[in-house]
A and B are shown apart, each in its own frame.
Chain A
């Protein structure tokens, strides 16, 4: 690849406070944050972005931690690497969906250096973490010079690579609430090669009634089939309050596929992606149901 990266001024702040100060100073100009750079450096090399200033936050160890448990929920610092999540002993039961998802994000080399915050902040509609965050009902903490705010994962991405982060803000933490009892969650993606970006992906989190047959609550999310990760709300509505059966899950998958709005690309047609995502929703729906019944 021809490297046409422009020259820029580089800052490596030693604390979040210092990073925010730099952002409030340069954020409005041609300024970019770099975390692991696994997505950013490609854009720089292609000359698609030409920042004058680059603020390197990778060294902010205060944002590199995972804490919590199933009773209180999880807090994941934005600079936690994909690999650290994949390997964390905290990814148990309803949270094991996070480790399973991470295991198929690109290669070990990307996961060792790329961060969860960078992935989410990138706003790539084919990213794997975002649909999982949608079904886990996550919130994102953003910090800026004016203070902190929490944004629902659902309201965070508005379109292709478009997010709610202001130019003087950083994504600092991902908060995942404690799952209700009898909840199971599952994610899967379909890609041409192991670790490739998803052609389509689906995540389901299902909570069952005490009878372990009736769906008390459900969240279904799909990736790669719209300009932003999206929920399949009609399919959710169909399942909520019903006794779960295989037929019903097939019907939910069909509905989800109608809700999706994929586009054809050089290799794969819109119709194929649509059918595919429906099948994935049915499949992970069944697995989430089985997990919920065991939980």
Chain B
């Protein structure tokens, strides 16, 4: 029997009826067409599917979509401001922090979760916050450097009184 799911994704309210067994990543990709969130291991062990739920990084393959009822989700599609990339996205580009890109949306969402909580993380803190994320291409140093760079960009933006 389908159940109602009412939630906000990237600032937009959705009201859907879904099977209770549906996991969050299925709704995001298959119902809402937000394919930026990746479904990879589908078993909680790679973090490619990471999104923010009420501001906290979670694995969307390991949450029943109905558990997001009444909650706010941010996916990678909600990072940029129109055509203006988010500083985390810019930093990932400029630091060569991805190759195939499959892990990247999850990495960037976790980075956002971290930087919102801790705007100036040390290298080791970044390592701890990102340790669930598997990347088969890039090597983790560039990702760590991108996040350090993103922290600086966000700080500069803040000092200049910018948005986000």
Do A and B make up one complex?
yes
Indicate the member of B23, B64, B66, B131 with the most A CB atoms within 10 Å. Answer: B64
- Residues of chain B in range 129-149 having any CB-CB distance to chain A below 8 Å: 129, 131-133
Q: B19 at interface (Cβ–Cβ under 8 A)? A: yes
Stretch at the interface among B8-16, B51-59, B86-94, B95-103: B51-59
For residue A38, which residue of chain B has the nearest CB? B62
Q: Verify B3–A41 contact, CB threshold 8 A.
A: no
Q: How far is the CB of A126 from chain B (nearest CB, A)?
A: 15
Q: How far is the CA of A109 from the CA of B25 in the complex (A)?
A: 14
Whether, in the assembled complex, A113 has its beta carbon less than 8 Å from a beta carbon of chain B, the answer is yes
In the complex, A108 has a CB within 8 A of chain B: yes
Q: Which of A6-14, A142-150, A180-188, A282-290 contacts B (4 or more CB under 8 A)?
A: A6-14
Given contacts A41-B64, A45-B43, A113-B53, contact A108 B21 (CB under 8 A): no
Cβ-defined contact, A108 with B67, below 8 A: no
Q: Are B131 and A3 in contact (CB under 8 A)?
A: no
Q: Give the CA-CA distance A45 to B133 in the complex, in Å.
A: 21
Q: Are A56 and B47 interface neighbours, CB within 8 A?
A: no
As a 0/1 sequence over residues 218 to 262 of chain A, the CB contacts with chain B under 8 angstroms (1 = contact) are 000000000000000000000000000000000000000000000
Q: Decide yes or no whether A107 CB sits under 8 A from chain B.
A: yes
Complex Cα gap A8–B3 (Å): 11
A141 close to chain B: CB less than 8 A? no
- A103 touching B128, Cβ below 8 Å: yes
* B44 part of interface (Cβ distance < 8 Å): yes
Chain A residues with a Cβ closer than 8 Å to the other chain, count: 31
Most A CB within 10 A of own CB, among B1, B3, B44, B66: B44
Known: A41-B44, A42-B43, A56-B67. A108 touches B57 (CB 8 A): yes
- Determine whether the beta carbon of B110 is less than 8 Å from that of A109: yes
0 or 1 for each of A5-24: is its CB under 8 Å from B? (1 = yes): 11111101000000000000
**Bound-complex Cα distance A41 to B3 (A):** 18
Contact B47 A107 (CB under 8 A): yes
Let me know if A137 is at the binding interface, CB within 8 A. Answer: no
Which chain A residues lie closer than 8 Å to B133 at the CB level? 107
User: Do B47 and A109 have beta carbons less than 8 Å apart?
Assistant: yes
Q: In the complex, are the beta carbons of B132 and A107 less than 8 A apart?
A: yes
Known: A113-B53, A193-B131. 8 other contacts (CB 8 A): A34-B64, A37-B67, A44-B21, A45-B43, A108-B57, A109-B50, A110-B132, A194-B127
